[in-house]
Chains A and B, each alone.
Chain A
């Protein structure tokens, strides 16, 4: 009997002890978010009503759900970091956070998640920020449907939209990042998924990997960034169905690969970039089913790239399809469609009868003396390209696509 009573008590008490709601509004007894957090117990829900709350250094040190109603404004007044989460199981939802402090010594963020698990950060709007969402030594969380709009102009005094540092198993989905330094930045972060984001107009990279392994990014759009995506010193990254667009500029890439091993690049679209993919020191990468359209260079390969394979890609109207800076080739090109292929298909099997040489002599010349680009599309260049095609001297003579497709590939 005593047990049953105790059990009943527990059942009745549960809603009070566990799912209490704390309301924060300008006229309520609790009028600031930090006060609300101090008053709340573990696993409570804090509802922040519409209004402007001038707060910074808000520390969330217990498992709470913080929900904003009609996007209340948390204004940091440029004084420093705004919200820091140091507990597990925290949810932050629907806040409008502005005016993060700028600093050259500390990475102030709008929201920082530190040493915690199972966090959920969603539906936030961040503006006038230094760093946006900074996830540090945390795991198993989700960053979903946030809108981050910075005002970055220079690299040295701006921060990143979403930054992961020593984190694991984080899902970044459906975010919209603009005008920051790096849209999304991963450093020492493994097993993360980045999906359906739009990263545009950023000063440096749309997405940036450093020393991060086994990550996946898919269905994202990278537009008009300093460079679309930079993947550096990472292993086993999967890149699927992303779109890299209009990364135009003197040193702009759609995708920059540096010291990357065993990656998979599949189903992506590279459109109107100065350089579609810039590859340096990357091995065993599979390029499959990608479309390269209207780029200056579709793929630029700089030294030390071995055993990569390029199969069934579309190369459409790029000024240069492939550029190599050496005569050595250990990469395989097969079954691609090249819009500048001029061969024929007598046996009608859909595969050109003579191999295609994607590296032109002119691209080799431009590599050596960049100013010669001014002769692009000149008749003389066409003539020397033709003679090089007939008997390769400067370009790798084993760099061939033996099965060039006659028709554009569709998957």
Chain B
């Protein structure tokens, strides 16, 4: 099950990369378009795959649990199996067409590797979140529902609320609020991270000293990566914790 779907996933990214390059004829422009795709699709696919995989292999998992294997290694193994194969598909699927197109001679290589790194992070994060949801919900339909809702919330609704907050409190200094708001959502964080690397960083620095300090230096980059790592570690810890206590 897993391997077949990851081939499909791989083929999808391969096709996407080829088509983008074919249409754009320009590496750096393709990177920008790709960013939009990665930020929306990668979390969605990570979430759905995570939930789907968990529910599908539930019986097998129960069988495994009867064996003398540590629970944490069963579940972490499952999680890593899904997350890493998805990341592999993403990296190879997008990487191959770009490499053939002459990525290594292009200045876009850093932007592109950043794109793949954030893509991988997002896969890790959202697969972990999906596993958490699946672990907490026996009911498949509910689990799927929550997973999709989570994605919808972080990808779309969060930004809406965020925007409303900013507009509502526009009379106050908002530099810090907006930075913190970004940090709290992995999708926003990845988006900002990629924007930082593209030339738009100066545009982001257009307002306020805090912005400028944050976006203008490598400090922002480091903090963002630390936050992304936290976003991976937290749900993974919960998987371990939850799986130890759960009754099957």
Contacts and interface: CB of A to CB of B under 8 A. Distances in A.
B159 A378 contact: yes
Interface string A38-69: 00000000000000000000000000000000
Most buried by A among B177, B203, B211: B203
Given A365-B163, A375-B159, A250 B199 contact: no
A319 B203 contact: yes
Nearest to B201: A248
Contacts of A294: 199
Contacts of B40: 379
B188 A372 contact: no
Interface in A212-262: 248-250
Interface of B: 29, 32, 35-36, 39-40, 155-160, 162-163, 166-167, 170, 174-175, 177-179, 181-182, 188, 191-192, 195, 199-200, 202-208, 211-212
Given A274-B203, A296-B202, A296-B206, A375 B174 contact: no
Given A296-B200, A368-B170, A369-B174, A375 B163 contact: yes
23 contacts: A272-B199, A294-B199, A296-B203, A296-B206, A317-B29, A319-B200, A319-B203, A368-B167, A369-B166, A370-B206, A371-B170, A371-B178, A371-B211, A373-B206, A374-B192, A375-B162, A376-B195, A376-B204, A379-B36, A380-B156, A380-B157, A380-B159, A383-B156
A373 B156 contact: no
Interface in A279-317: 294, 296, 317
B207 A250 contact: yes
Contacts of A374: 178-179, 181-182, 188, 192, 204, 211
Nearest to B207: A370
B200 to A, nearest CB: 6
B171 to A, nearest CB: 10
Interface of A: 248-250, 272, 274, 294, 296, 317, 319, 365, 368-381, 383
A372 B160 CA distance: 11
A369 to B, nearest CB: 4
Contact of A373 (B35, B39, B203): B203
A186 B32 CA distance: 41
Nearest to A372: B166
A380 B178 CA distance: 16
Contact of A379 (B29, B39, B166, B204): B39
B199 A274 contact: no
A40 to B, nearest CB: 54
Contacts of A369: 166-167, 170, 174
